[in-house]
């Protein structure tokens, strides 16, 4: 359904911030972690996370840093103070939104 596809796409930045809240990661790890945590529900095209990552970096919600790991350079992203504040605020708003919308929508037995 197009509506849910758009909703999933729109959640990419929140998903990224959520996984980065635990530890710093590089692009591939972030994509895998999102897939794992959501039990494949958020199986986004891997390429779509880079515009989101770079936009978050530009807005100073995350910070990217090149580090060497197993002989190969990786760009590790970590959440900033500003990103943390944004994530908590967004989660709060999101919970309110879901609660209000659920109360509004018809219940399962009514459909």
Partner 1 sequence: MDLIRDYLSGLSKHLKLSSKKREEILKEIKYHLEDLSSEYKKEGISMKEAKNKAIKKFDNPKRIARKLQWVHGFGSFSENKFKDSSLGTLPFLIATILILLIDPNFLKPNSYFFGLFWISVIGFSVYGFLNAFPAWTISWLGFFNVLILQLLFFAGGYISPLFSIVFPSLFLIFSIYFIVKNQFKYIFLFLMPLAIPYVFYGYDGVAQSHRILMIVVVGLFTIVASFLILYKKLKGIYLIGILGFFLYSFIYFDIVFLAPLKAPIEKNYIGLLPTILGYIIPLIIISIIPGFHFLKQKMY
Under the rule (CB under 8 A), what is the footprint of partner 1? Answer: 26-28, 31, 45-48, 50-51, 54-55, 58, 72-75
Q: How many CA atoms lie within 13 A of 21 on its CB side?
A: 16
In 23-109, which residue ranges form alpha helices assigned H by DSSP?
27-37, 49-58, 81-104
The answer to whether the beta carbons of residues 18 and 87 sit under 8 Å apart is yes
Write down the least CB distance from residue 7 to partner 1, Å.
18
Among residues 108, 109, 60, 61, the alpha carbon closest in space to that of 88 is found at: 61
CB of 68 to partner 1, least distance (A): 12
Between 29 and 91, CB nearer to partner 1? 29
Q: How far is the CB of 104 from partner 1 (least distance, A)?
A: 31
DSSP 47: G
Nearer to partner 1, 26 or 86 (CB): 26
In the complex with partner 1, which residue's Cβ is closer, 3 or 69?
69
């Amino acid at each position: 359904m197009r509506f849910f596809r758009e909703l999933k796409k729109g959640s990419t930045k929140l998903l990224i911030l959520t996984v980065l809240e635990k530890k710093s990661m590089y692009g591939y790890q972030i994509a895998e972690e999102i897939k794992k945590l959501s039990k494949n529900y958020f199986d986004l095209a891997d390429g779509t996370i880079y515009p989101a990552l770079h936009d978050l970096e530009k807005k100073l919600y995350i910070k990217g840093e090149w580090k060497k790991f197993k002989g190969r350079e990786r760009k590790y992203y970590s959440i900033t103070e500003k990103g943390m504040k944004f994530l908590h605020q967004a989660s709060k708003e999101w919970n309110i939104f879901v609660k209000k919308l659920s109360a509004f929508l018809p219940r399962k037995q009514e459909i």
